[in-house]
């Protein structure tokens, strides 16, 4: 068997990088609880674009991030950051929101707080948005355009009303199948690519694809926290 060429080694490195991104997404979807109300963290619901995500105050690598310098609902302006290309891409379709669309925060200790979209703005990446104490706005912030960190897309919602928190706990995971889909696509695409790769180097590509695919399918059954992966590779994406 011929030794791997430099070009093959480069291709393998690229496949490994793609595999790491796929692994992050597979673990995210496999371990996601779509709805977990009034348990341990707040959540954001955007019915018009199918968003229902838990909110954390630790890292974007864990999903939607509550900016620590902003406020809780009813205390002031709320700033939330989310990815468009990673961690399930919760803010992928923010650009599809229109004036009047509902943005709902389920916040333990406060209730179900509803905002209506009133504005959509694109600003440079270095733009600083300051939250106001006593403010009644919710700001959703993500990168723009998709795949670039040049600008920020900011959706502003205005407080509409507050209701008691729905304490129903649903433990289903309707997005769990996404993990299997991602794994299958990686496997099929990898096999097809290896079959058209030069015959004398094909075995190396196929072996890497099969090993990574096996890991992906394993993660579908036994997921690990996806942030353990993304915290290591976030620099490759460079944005939100």
Residues 174-223 have pLDDT tens digits of 667 888 999 999 999 999 999 999 999 999 999 999 999 999 999 988 88
Least confident of 71-75, 167-171, 182-186: 167-171
pTM of the model: 0.73
Residue 230 has pLDDT above 90, yes or no: no
pLDDT: which is higher, 72 or 57 = 72
Distance, in Å, from the CA atom of 206 to the CA atom of 196, rounded to the nearest integer, reads: 11
- Segments in 131-240 forming alpha helices (H): 176-196, 202-221, 227-237
Distance, in Å, from the CA atom of 114 to the CA atom of 104, rounded to the nearest integer, reads: 4
Structure tokens at 88: 């399930």
The dihedrals phi and psi of 107, each to the nearest 5 degrees, come to -125, 110
Distance, in Å, from the CA atom of 138 to the CA atom of 77, rounded to the nearest integer, reads: 6
Structure tokens at 65: 């991030």
Q: What share of the chain is helix, strand, coil (3-state, %, to 5)?
A: 40, 25, 40
For the residues 28-56, what does the mean pLDDT come to?
75
Distance, in Å, from the CA atom of 38 to the CA atom of 182, rounded to the nearest integer, reads: 31
Q: Which residues neighbour 198 within 8 Å (Cβ) at sequence distance 6 or greater?
A: none
Q: Over pLDDT 70: what percentage of the chain?
A: 88
Look at residue 224 in the predicted model and tell me its pLDDT.
Answer: 83
Cα Rg for the chain, rounded, in angstroms?
21
CA torsion angle 82 85 91 97 (round to 10) = 150
Q: Over pLDDT 90: what percentage of the chain?
A: 53
């Amino acid at each position: 068997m011929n030794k791997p060429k430099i070009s093959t080694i480069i291709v393998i490195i690229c496949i490994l990088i793609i595999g790491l991104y796929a692994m992050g997404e597979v673990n995210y979807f496999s371990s996601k609880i779509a709805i977990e109300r009034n348990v341990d963290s707040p959540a954001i619901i955007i019915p018009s674009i199918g968003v229902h995500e838990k909110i954390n105050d630790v890292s974007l690598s864990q999903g939607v991030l509550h900016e620590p310098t902003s406020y809780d609902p009813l205390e002031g302006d709320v700033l939330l950051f989310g990815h468009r290309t990673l961690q399930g891409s919760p803010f992928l379709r923010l650009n599809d929101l229109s004036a009047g669309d509902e943005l709902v925060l389920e916040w333990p200790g406060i209730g179900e707080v509803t905002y209506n979209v009133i504005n959509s703005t694109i600003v440079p990446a270095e733009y600083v948005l300051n939250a106001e104490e006593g403010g009644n706005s919710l700001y959703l912030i993500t990168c723009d355009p998709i795949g670039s960190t040049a600008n920020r897309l900011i959706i502003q919602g205005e407080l509409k009303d507050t209701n008691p928190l729905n304490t129903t706990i649903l433990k289903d995971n309707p997005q769990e199948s996404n993990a299997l889909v991602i794994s299958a696509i990686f496997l099929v695409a990898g096999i097809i690519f290896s079959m058209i790769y030069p015959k004398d180097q094909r075995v190396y590509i196929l072996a890497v694809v099969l090993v990574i695919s096996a890991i992906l399918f394993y993660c579908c059954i036994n997921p690990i926290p996806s942030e353990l992966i993304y915290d290591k590779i976030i620099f490759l994406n460079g944005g939100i």
